[in-house]
Amino acid sequence: MPPILNAQGLSIRFGAQPLFRNVSFTVSQGDRIGLIGPNGSGKSTLIGMLAGRIDPDAGEVAMRKLARVSFVAQESEFAAGQSVREVLSNALRRIKVHEREWEARIAETLGRTGFEDFEQEAATLSGGWRKRLAIAEAMVELPDVLLLDEPTNHLDLSGIQWLEELLNQAPFACVFVSHDRYFLENVALEMVELNRAYPDGVLRVRGKYSEFLEKKEAFLLAQSKQQDALTNRVHTEMEWLRRGPKARATKAKARIDTAHAMIGELAEMRSRSRTASAGIEFSASERQTKRLVELDGVTYTIGNRTLFQNINFPITAGMRVGLVGANGSGKTTLLRLLLGEAQPTAGTIRKADALRVVYLDQTRELDESLTLRRALAPDSDSVVYQGRVVHVASWASKFLFTSEQLNQPVKNLSGGERARVLIAKLMLQPADLLLLDEPTNDLDIPTLEILEESLLEYPGALVLITHDRYMLDRVSTVVLGLDGNGGAERFADYSQWDVWQAEQRDIDAERSTQSKSRAGGASTKKGAKTKLSYLEAREFAGIEDKVAAAEEILHEARVALENPSIASDGARLLAAHAQLDRAQDAVDQLYARWAALTEKQK
């Protein structure tokens, strides 16, 4: 049977430089292909070409007759006022499916993707559920090939595991761009890397991601030996050319031509093998204190709900803590306690004197009015890094930015470039304790590996929240797991936590079955608690972040009220009191709502 998609000789350039040249790519029945490559290598462009959304400068993409290809973009956006059901109905309308088939196909697809409330407005969904809806929109078309660009973006750990199961059981072929190495290992049956280091610009290996890494290493080793041999031959020919051979002889002419061809081949090989990597190295302070933070009986309660209780946990220099748990389990709250932005309900948090803490917020906000130059070096055209003055152009090149980009607005940067800017800012701040909230978002695999190496070499302490399971396993020396019901357990690594989670789910399922059996259906009687609706579950998943934001506004209102400059200005003082009251009311209402939702789901 011919391939479903057959791309031949694809080339495209943006400006003077080609993004990639003469790339060929086929997708056949049953393929599950992971597409990787450094940032800027053209992965999203290539998958856009396969989807028919981007026209190549050269080459063509042929599709098998009557085949259907569906595409899920990196960012999932939906029109305001459009319900979940309407998103899928519109997809079926586009491919001209008869309306009598809609209801069954929509119900089956949304059920497989985890939706319960089909009338929820799509635009109001969280990032993870918008991604699920985008996947459902593609699946309802019953594609022969599903193309996904960074499908794990915005999904939490449980969402990533759900997607792995979905794709592993799918009847369609799929091609997906991803930097999640465990996801690649668990789903891909074949790996393709776009990289100018390869003679054809692409390396395709059948097998899992781990097998790809072995064959890639063997390929690059063979290429390195070939380059060494060619270098020796070119050296010999250069010596011969310097002796001034007489070009009148036919043999001499042929040898001169051969020498020039080898010199050109060597130059091209060296150009391909020359790769740039981000220079990530966090600065530690000169502190000699071993014990940095100690949590003693720490409990945090919101309304009637206890997020975690009686945590006894020391954080010492060199300790790398992976913080895991479901949405709403208190991970963000625990980071805020360590930052000092919130106080525990019970227990104490003791910190070493003059402890220096550096925090990377997952929202990654940058002032979009700035140029890259000012974002990297706010005060001048240089920065001070580890006691040395570094010009901003050299500092930018450390994070793979060119001098030409320095005057580019921050708003034009990609997600991966923004992440590198924020990491550059963090590196300028010597720290005893690093608090990193989702630092891996938008980073390509080479940069992830460099970040991991930097964290492994960092002598201070680290508390890390990430959905990248590979990073958790590689970097963490201990994992602190929050179950969201008050419990906090310590584990050796992420894998141990994952096994414990599965065991807890089995125990909970067994208890639920036994309870229903004893009650004889009493769960439907008056007074029985009901589980959260779909809308309530989505609200519950995001309410911790809303509380954090509301408390930040409340803190700012208190600071404004305490400003001495308004003490004698009656109007401004009155306005500040009113603002503080509104902020306090908002926080109280959110706490009350959180407690109500927690009680309902018990």
b or e along 381-417 (b: 16 or more beta carbons within 10 Å of the residue's beta carbon)? eebebeeeebebbebbbbbbbeeebbeeebeebebbb
**pLDDT digits 0-9 by tens, 403-441:** 888 888 888 777 777 878 888 888 888 888 999 888 887
Whether 314 shows a pLDDT value over 70: the answer reads yes
**Residue 27 pLDDT level (bands cut at 50, 70, 90):** very high
DSSP string computed for 181-213: HHHHHHH-SEEEEE-TTSTTSEEEEES-HHHHH
Q: Are 415 and 75 in contact (CB under 8 A)?
A: no
Structure token digits, residue 601: 């789901």
- pLDDT (mean) for 544-560: 79
**Residue 260 pLDDT level (bands cut at 50, 70, 90):** low
**pLDDT digits 0-9 by tens, 97-131:** 888 888 999 998 998 888 888 898 998 887 788 89
Whether 375 shows a pLDDT value over 70: the answer reads yes
**Residue 399 pLDDT level (bands cut at 50, 70, 90):** confident
Can you give the three-state secondary structure of 147-183, one letter per residue? EEECCCCCCCHHHHHHHHHHHHCCCCEEEEECCCHHH
**pLDDT digits 0-9 by tens, 72-97:** 998 888 988 899 999 999 999 999 98
For residue 123, the 8-state DSSP code is G
- Residue corresponding to tokens 């890390």: 464
pLDDT of residue 47: 93
Which of 13-22, 79-88, 428-437, 542-551 has the largest mean confidence?
A: 79-88
pLDDT of residue 533: 63
pLDDT of residue 422: 82
pLDDT of residue 523: 44
pLDDT of residue 92: 94
**pLDDT digits 0-9 by tens, 492-502:** 888 788 788 77
* Max intra-chain CA distance, the chain: 106
